[in-house]
Amino acid sequence: MSDEIGVAVLGLGNVGSEVVRIIEESAADLTARIGAPLVIRGIGVRRVDADRGVPVELLTDDIEALVSRDDVDIVVELMGPVEPARKAILAALEQGKSVVTANKALMAVSAGKLAEAAEKAHVDLYFEAAVAGAIPVIRPLTQSLAGDTVLRVAGIVNGTTNYILSEMDSTGADYASALADASALGYAEADPTADVEGWDAAAKAAILASIAFHTRVTADDVYREGITKVSAADFASARALGCTIKLLAICERLTTGKGKQQVSARVYPALVPLEHPLASVNGAFNAVVVEAEAAGRLMFYGQGAGGAPTASAVLGDLVMAARNRVQGGRGPRESKYAKLPVAPIGVIPTRYYVNMNVADRPGVLSAVSAEFSKREVSIAEVRQEGMVDDEGQRCGARIVVVTHQAKDAALSETVAALADLDVVQSINSVLRMEGTSE
Ligand code: NAP
């Protein structure tokens, strides 16, 4: 049995308190698995109170001093925002400590700098919990698929938005009341912006794309749209088309006409056919579908958030980092050799669903379809229904157009041109369609 492995835990919130609990409660098993006991040297918090369920002498608000202690081998960062986490992690790495973090916001913007520091110090930097909580997806991508070529990673990686969209689908609720429900049940934060505007999913997409394609992709490289404009009418139309609507994070390897490889990372709400595996992922659950050249399609499903599920992923990383310490080595280093360029959204082949109100008179459909054909966008399906006003008088028609695949730029130009047509009263919504390749 080796010497103790000293651990500093930064943060004692939802995740940190579960990590500390499991370290204490499973001490004997963890010792056997690692080959040395894990000993918590200190816990970094803002409020050092006696009443926090851990021995008060472990608590400190001096993060800098805690990570610098000679008897700390591994720092587990579970504080949250980019700062002060970045400063603490960099200090830890520079002093030769391995680091485990669940901080997606930080990893999506600073992974390069942190990985460099880990490389220099020859220590581990693990972040399985930063994407999809309990679901193992980072390690399968970095290790299990290390010999394969990943083509696509697409997933539902934000539980809050998946809960809201699932509610809208199953109850017919509009966005505002589904959000209110999610808040009341604790699935949405007081300020839900990072979730509903897709920022959280974009951070995870950046991390997934970086790993899957051996290329540095940051949050700024990710095209992003949130779910705030998705309406109950969109769900009704989606149902009629045999689809539901999901907020997807999509990372893809693309080959241009000239045979050059590029990567795409994007987040948006999309129509997904009901038979697609992601369509049945409901509530706060997450799922990630990976497609690799030799392995084919793999699906990972489970709890994407919550104290205990996230702590499971953190503990997995902590045990790996501790084992590496005991054996005197480190895990696989970051792989960014491919350096593929990130493709702009305009070149991405996709399908659109366009929902618009039009005048109810002859020639409208041909004017609308002319705008699609001018830009070589082929229409797959058109649905039209008449509308009546409060007095029961006909007042126009609602048209839903679903396209075949075309470049995103051609599709968005078409929508802009439609909005300028006299016969189009309003463009109600525009969503992409995923999970079909026609
Ligand atoms: P949380 O409940 O808000 O807890 C944050 C903890 O960090 C608190 O204990 C807080 O101290 C401490 N802290 C914050 N700023 C600090 C500072 N400047 N100095 C010292 N301590 C500080 O957060 P959480 O939900 O556990 O999330 C932690 C991390 O895990 C975040 O990066 C999050 O994105 C990630 N994550 C969370 C989940 C989840 O389901 N919660 C899932 C995946 C990833 P006080 O207690 O004294 O306020």
Kindly give the distance from the C-alpha atom of residue 13 to the centroid of ligand 1, in angstroms, as a whole number.
5
Q: Would you state the structure tokens that stand for residue 89, as one six-digit string?
A: 């992690």
- Condensed to tens digits (0 to 9), the pLDDT of residues 318-339 reads 999 999 999 998 888 889 999 9
Q: Name the percent of the chain lying above pLDDT 70.
A: 99
Strand partners, 382: 401
| Signed CA dihedral, 376, 266, 243, 234: sign only | negative
Q: 159 CB less than 6 Å from ligand 1?
A: no
Kindly give the distance from the C-alpha atom of residue 140 to the centroid of ligand 1, in angstroms, as a whole number.
26
Q: 262 CB less than 6 Å from ligand 1?
A: no
- Condensed to tens digits (0 to 9), the pLDDT of residues 225-262 reads 999 999 999 999 999 999 999 999 999 999 988 889 99
Q: Going by DSSP bridges, is the β-strand pair 150-156/285-292 parallel, antiparallel, or unpaired?
A: antiparallel
Q: Name the percent of the chain lying above pLDDT 90.
A: 89
User: Which residue's CA is minimally distant from atom 13 of ligand 1?
Assistant: 79
Residue 109 assigned to a binding site: no
Residue 328 assigned to a binding site: no
Question: Residue 362: which region, alpha, beta or left (left: phi > 0; alpha: psi -120 to 50)?
Answer: beta
- Condensed to tens digits (0 to 9), the pLDDT of residues 70-112 reads 999 999 999 988 999 999 999 999 999 999 999 999 999 999 9
Kindly give the distance from the C-alpha atom of residue 406 to the centroid of ligand 1, in angstroms, as a whole number.
43
Supply the mean pLDDT for the chain: 95
Report the C-alpha gap between 22 and 12 in whole angstroms: 13
Kindly give the distance from the C-alpha atom of residue 15 to the centroid of ligand 1, in angstroms, as a whole number.
7
CB 249 within 8 A of CB 104: no
State the pTM of this model: 0.95
The pLDDT of residue 353 is 95
Domains in the chain with CATH codes: 5-133+307-327 (3.40.50.720), 138-303 (3.30.360.10), 346-433 (3.30.70.260)
DSSP state of 278: G
Q: 40 CB less than 6 Å from ligand 1?
A: no
User: Which residue's CA is minimally distant from atom 24 of ligand 1?
Assistant: 14
Report the C-alpha gap between 115 and 104 in whole angstroms: 14
Nearest ligand 1 atom to alpha carbon 46:
47
The pLDDT of residue 435 is 87
| Alpha-carbon separation of residue 121 from 77, 107, 114 (angstroms) | 18, 18, 11
Q: Whose CA is closest to 217, among 200, 197, 202? A: 202
Residue 103 assigned to a binding site: no
The pLDDT of residue 67 is 98
CB 247 within 8 A of CB 267: yes
DSSP letters for 396-414: EEEEEEEE-SEEHHHHHHH
Report the C-alpha gap between 365 and 393 in whole angstroms: 21
- Condensed to tens digits (0 to 9), the pLDDT of residues 24-74 reads 999 999 999 999 999 999 999 999 987 899 999 999 999 999 999 999 999
Return the half-sphere exposure (C-beta side, CA atoms, 13 A cut-off) of residue 132: 25
Residue 16 assigned to a binding site: yes
**Given a cut of 80, is residue 402 above it in pLDDT?**
yes
The pLDDT of residue 1 is 62
**Cα Rg of the chain (Å, integer):** 25
The pLDDT of residue 2 is 65
Task: Report the catalytic residues.
Answer: 204
